[in-house]
Structure formats: structure tokens, C-alpha cells
């Protein structure tokens, strides 16, 4: 983790207030009953997210940083720990939906209690480097959970027969045309990859290092719903030669025939604004790595490596259809679409960069121990905060994951023709 050393206590306090308020705003239309449901092990109840990010500040900032700090409730140290084994035992992740208590009301009281203590600490020690670093990490951690909160409640609501909207007031994205799919020559040779400068980054974005890129081409935009519908209608889900072995097993085990949230007619999909007609020109999302890889093979292409993606994305501003745009769904059009809309699957396994060193202590469990059996995604999505994403940002999911906003960009070997 790295942060800018010039941050002031006042700036950090304001940022703390803003991030914490944004989280509460995201759930403003939910009822208490909505916040308890867990529909699969990957999904956590909204109430749990609200409490877990609060526990992070209590456990890693307040307890070591504020003299005589008293925990809100000792039981929460067990209930709302996620995967920090060095910090203690934890409630089983697949059973978070069984926690009817503490109530949502009590969780919100917990947030207010911790917020008061955090602002007191920042007023007293806001210029302390250790407080700045761990608070900054906590705020970025909360922004990650803002995205997870929305994707998780989307899955919860999609399982409800009435298909309610998470945010009924969401605007329908405007219709727009898209260019035909084309490829441009990517940069080859040895290039520096990873976080640069002195602003915040996670440890998995470091160290900056040399990577060798072979001659390749990279797609001019994300794959659209219309592109993916053609893949389906060509019988791809019953054509075994298009699929990786594990992918073909997943297709048959789970009976996948279309992206998650599409209906059987391939004309409508569930969104955070409820059921809507599929926009043919918007980027396809909620597809697994296996589906992305099979689509690329069907299209006579492949998925880009994360290094190819990063070099291409450098030519574009870090801006796009992100959480702050207010659509909470991929939007048609846009130039390049490297940031926002949908996380882009890459062909790169989520692995440490050469010379990677995790943070010391419990916070070293944040990223490093997940560098096995997962695939790297890049670019953020339509529910990623605009001030959270950056060029070097690396996220990661198992190849069968579909409940996140996960999309596809194509690449090819060699020069453009």
C-alpha cells in the first residue's frame, strides 16, 4: 500500500465522512428485510457489509490508535471478521445470512459509534503517518465493499419472483450506436508495468517492473449484447470445442445458456433498476471467464493479457461509466471503454508481480493470500467509484464467477492486417 504523503488531517476527515455517507446512500431504498438475505456463498447480506467495513476501522485503526478505545460490542469481532485469520476466528462466510441479530438498527448504531471515534482520532492524530495509511486503506476497502454491496443485493433481488428494483429511480441509459469491432496494434517489447507515482495503491499493484509484450492487436471496445447474442444463437453453448475443459464442465453442471440475469427470450435482463429490455449496443456483462474465453475463441480471437490491457489503457483517460454516473449498468457507446461499464477479463492468472511483498501483520492477508486459482480483471465497472479506480488497479475472481459486472474485450496475436 502507498499513499500521498501530503494529505492533511482535514482532507482525510472529509474523505472519511464522504465515503461513509456514500455507503449509506447506496442502501437508502432498502428495507431492513432486504439487508439480511444471502442467496449464495459469494453473496454477503447488505447488513453484513455495513458492519464489516466498520469493524475494519475499529479493529485496525481505532484499537491500535486511540487510547482507551472501548469496542462497541466484543461479539462483533467474531461476527464481522471476514478472512483475517491472524486477527482471530470468524463466523463462516456461507452462514452470514443466518445472522438475524444484530439488527440493521443496531448495525447503524455501530457505524455511528465508530464514525464518532474515527473523527476524534483523525482530529487528534490526523497527521500521523500510520493513522493516515491505515485509514486510507480502510476507505478504499469500504469503496470495494460499496461495489460488492450493490452486486450482492442485485443477486438477492434477482432471486425474488417479483424482480424488484434496488434503486427504482435509476435512469435508463441512453441509446447509442457503436462502431464495428476492430483491432489496433498494441505496444510490444519491454515496458514498465504497475503503480507509479506517490498516490494510493494496493500492494498487489507493486512493485513496478518490466514485462515483455509480444506483437499483438487489441479490440477497440467491449463486446456488446448483440455480439454475444450472435454467439448464443450460433449454438456456442452446445459446441464443446469452444470451451476450456473446466468451462465445459461448468456449462453442463450449471446449465448455462446465456449471461446471468438474461431471460430465456434473450430480450430482457434484470438490472439494479428492475427488469429492462436488453440494449443490443451496450456491453455484455455478468459472464464468467469461461464464457469470455469461449466467446473469444468463437470470434477468432483471444482475451488480452493484463499487461496488454494496461499498455492500451494508458492512451485513455481514467474516466467512463462508473458509479457516479448514476446508471449502475453498462452503457452503449463511449470511446475505448477501458474504464467503467464492466470489469474486463484478462487471460492473466492473478499472481504476484516479481518482487511482490505483502503488507506486514494482519493487513498482509488483504491481497497476497488470494494469488492462486483466480483470474485478473481490469478497468472497473458501472458500480465502481470514480475516485477509486486507476490504471494499475488489479482485481480478481474465480473463473466461474458471474455475479459481478464482468465483460469482454478481445485481442489477437501479431500485427493488424
Residue-wise pLDDT tens for the chain (417 aa)? 555 444 566 699 999 999 999 999 999 999 999 999 999 999 999 999 999 999 999 999 999 999 999 999 999 999 999 988 888 999 999 999 999 999 999 999 999 999 999 999 999 988 899 999 999 999 999 999 999 999 999 999 999 999 999 999 999 998 899 999 999 999 999 999 999 988 899 999 999 999 999 999 999 999 999 999 999 999 999 999 999 999 999 999 999 999 999 999 999 999 999 999 999 999 999 999 999 999 999 999 999 999 999 999 999 999 999 999 999 999 998 789 999 999 999 999 999 999 998 877 767 766 778 889 999 999 999 999 999 999 999 999 999 999 999 999 999 999 765
Same domain, 84 and 18: yes
Please tell me whether residues 69 and 35 are part of one structural domain: yes
Residue 267 lies in a domain: yes
Check whether residue 60 and residue 208 sit in a common domain: no
In a domain, 169, yes or no: no
Residue 1 domain-assigned (yes or no): no
User: What torsion, rounded to 10 degrees, do the Cα atoms 50, 55, 61, 65 define?
Assistant: 130
Q: For 258-296, give the DSSP string.
A: S-TTB-TTSSEEEETTEEEE--TTSBP-S--HHHHHHHH
Total tally of structural domains belonging to the chain: 2
pLDDT of residue 2: 55
Residue 164 located in a structural domain: no
Q: Is residue 321 included in any domain, yes or no?
A: yes
Kindly provide the b/e burial profile for residues 335-346, where b requires at least 16 CB atoms within 10 angstroms of the residue's own CB. Answer: ebbbbbbbbbbb
Please tell me the distance from the alpha carbon of residue 400 to that of residue 202, in angstroms, as a whole number: 25
Strand partners, 215: none
165 part of a folded domain: no
Report d(CA 267, CA 118) in Å as an integer: 48
- Determine the Cα–Cα distance for residues 62 and 372; give it in Å rounded to an integer: 32
Q: Do 138 and 32 have their domain in common? A: yes
Q: What is the pLDDT of residues 228-265, one digit of tens each?
A: 999 999 999 999 999 999 999 999 999 999 999 999 99
Residues 151 and 252 occupy one common structural domain: no
**CATH code (residue 142):** 1.20.120
Q: 147 and 214: one domain?
A: no
Q: Is residue 242 domain-shared with residue 390, that is, in the same domain?
A: yes
Assess whether 264 and 115 both reside in one domain.
no
Q: Does residue 310 sit within a domain?
A: yes
Asked if residue 3 belongs to a domain, the reply is no
- The CATH number of residue 309's host domain is 3.90.1580.10
Judgement on whether residues 256 and 154 belong to the same structural domain of the protein: no
Last residue of a domain, one of 100, 124, 158: 158
Indicate whether 36 and 147 sit together in one domain. yes
Domain that includes residue 153, residue range: 9-158
- Rg of the Cα trace of the chain? 21
Whether residues 26 and 128 share a domain: the answer is: yes
Q: Same structural domain for residues 295 and 409? A: yes
Q: Which pLDDT score is estimated for 8?
A: 63
**Dmax (CA) of the chain:** 68
Amino acid at each position: 500500500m502507498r499513499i500521498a504523503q501530503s494529505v492533511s488531517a482535514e482532507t482525510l476527515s472529509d474523505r472519511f465522512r464522504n465515503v461513509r455517507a456514500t455507503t449509506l446512500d447506496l442502501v437508502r431504498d432498502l428495507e431492513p428485510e432486504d439487508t439480511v438475505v444471502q442467496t449464495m456463498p459469494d453473496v454477503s447480506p447488505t447488513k453484513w457489509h455495513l458492519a464489516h467495513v466498520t469493524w475494519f476501522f475499529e479493529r485496525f485503526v481505532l484499537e491500535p490508535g486511540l487510547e482507551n478505545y472501548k469496542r462497541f460490542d466484543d461479539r462483533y469481532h467474531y461476527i464481522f471478521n471476514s478472512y483475517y485469520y491472524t486477527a482471530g476466528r470468524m463466523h463462516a462466510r456461507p452462514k452470514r445470512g443466518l445472522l438475524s441479530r444484530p439488527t440493521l438498527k443496531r448495525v447503524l448504531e455501530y457505524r455511528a459509534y465508530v464514525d464518532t471515534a474515527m473523527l476524534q482520532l483523525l482530529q487528534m492524530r490526523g497527521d500521523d503517518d500510520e493513522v493516515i495509511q491505515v485509514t486510507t486503506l480502510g476507505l478504499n476497502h469500504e469503496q470495494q465493499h460499496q461495489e460488492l454491496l450493490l452486486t450482492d443485493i442485485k443477486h438477492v433481488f434477482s432471486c425474488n419472483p417479483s424482480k424488484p428494483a434496488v434503486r427504482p429511480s435509476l435512469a435508463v441509459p441512453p441509446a447509442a450506436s457503436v462502431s464495428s469491432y476492430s483491432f489496433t496494434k498494441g505496444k510490444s517489447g519491454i515496458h514498465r508495468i504497475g503503480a507509479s507515482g506517490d498516490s494510493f495503491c494496493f500492494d498487489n499493484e507493486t512493485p513496478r517492473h518490466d514485462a515483455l509484450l509480444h506483437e499483438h492487436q487489441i479490440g477497440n471496445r467491449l463486446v456488446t449484447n448483440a455480439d454475444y447474442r450472435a454467439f448464443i444463437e450460433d449454438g456456442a453453448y452446445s459446441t464443446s470445442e469452444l470451451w476450456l475443459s473446466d468451462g465445459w464442465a461448468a456449462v453442463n453442471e450449471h446449465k448455462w445458456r446465456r449471461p446471468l440475469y438474461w431471460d430465456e427470450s434473450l430480450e430482457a435482463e434484470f438490472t439494479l433498476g428492475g427488469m429492462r429490455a436488453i440494449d443490443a449496443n451496450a456491453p455484455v456483462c455478468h459472464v464468467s471467464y469461461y464464457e469470455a474465453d469461449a466467446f473469444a475463441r468463437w470470434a477468432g480471437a483471444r482475451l488480452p493479457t493484463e499487461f496488454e490491457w494496461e499498455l492500451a489503457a494508458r492512451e485513455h483517460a481514467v474516466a467512463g461509466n462508473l458509479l457516479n454516473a448514476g446508471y449502475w449498468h453498462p452503457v452503449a457507446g463511449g470511446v475505448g471503454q477501458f474504464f467503467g461499464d464492466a470489469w474486463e477479463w484478462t487471460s492473466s492468472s492473478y499472481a504476484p508481480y516479481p518482487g511482490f511483498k505483502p503488507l506486514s501483520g494482519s493487513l498482509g492477508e488483504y491481497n497476497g493470500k488470494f494469488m492462486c486459482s483466480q483470474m485478473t480483471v481490469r478497468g472497473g465497472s458501472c458500480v465502481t467509484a470514480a475516485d477509486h479506480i486507476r490504471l494499475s488497479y488489479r482485481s480478481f475472481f474465480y473463473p466461474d464467477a458471474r455475479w459481478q459486472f464482468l465483460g469482454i474485450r478481445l485481442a489477437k496475436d501479431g500485427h493488424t492486417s
